[in-house]
Amino acid sequence: MKRGNLMNFRYKLMQFMSGRYGIDQLFYLLFGVSTVLSLINCFVPWLAVKVIVQLLIYVIMGFAFYRVLSRNVWARSRENQLLAKFITQIKKQKNIRRQRKADYTHIYKKCPRCHAVLRLPRRKGKHTTVCPKCSKEFKVHVFKA
Ligand SMILES: [Zn+2]
């Protein structure tokens, strides 16, 4: 009898969820963020801040569950793809930073005018360089060779 009820519940849940978006990485992220916020909120001594954070948690959770139950699967998967893109971007940036750090013979400086990144030989002292992109002349100070 009990098992039958469980099966029935499962069937009803499946029926309810059919055509709806369900759980994805963005859901876990939103859920995680609101969990962390709730934990932090336990230690917030100011009532006004506590209330605002609590409202924020409700909004995030609301959005998370709205996404799970949404029938607009295309829009929801696009949101999740944006998150995936964002994560890839961060990983790329991290990789670039690691590569530049490992480059002992050169330094990387941003041109103050066009923001192009210049790879310059690492020679201690003050130098003047010319940006190859916009031909702006600017000073570079290398502290350690
Ligand atoms: Zn430039």
The helix or strand, by DSSP H or E, that contains position 5, with its residue range, turns out to be helix 2-17
What is the pLDDT at residue 144? 79
Confidence of residue 2 (pLDDT cuts 50, 70, 90): low
Q: For residue 83, report the distance from its CA to the centre of ligand 1, in Å.
A: 32
CB atoms near residue 75 (< 10 Å):
11
Tens-place pLDDT, residues 74-93: 999 999 999 999 999 999 99
Average of per-residue pLDDT across 89-102: 96
Q: For residue 120, report the distance from its CA to the centre of ligand 1, in Å.
A: 13
| Domains of the chain, residue spans | 2-96, 103-145
- In sequence order, the β-bridge partners of residue 90 are none
Q: For residue 110, report the distance from its CA to the centre of ligand 1, in Å.
A: 8
Average of per-residue pLDDT across 42-71: 97
Q: For residue 134, report the distance from its CA to the centre of ligand 1, in Å.
A: 4
- Is residue 100 within 8 A of residue 122, CB to CB? The reply is no
Answer positive or negative: Cα dihedral of 8, 9, 14, 15.
Answer: positive
Q: For residue 125, report the distance from its CA to the centre of ligand 1, in Å.
A: 21
What is the pLDDT at residue 100? 94
Q: Is the pLDDT of residue 1 over 70?
A: no
Q: For residue 140, report the distance from its CA to the centre of ligand 1, in Å.
A: 13
Q: What percent of the chain has pLDDT over 70?
A: 99
Q: For residue 144, report the distance from its CA to the centre of ligand 1, in Å.
A: 24
Q: Is the pLDDT of residue 143 over 90?
A: no
Q: What percent of the chain has pLDDT over 90?
A: 92
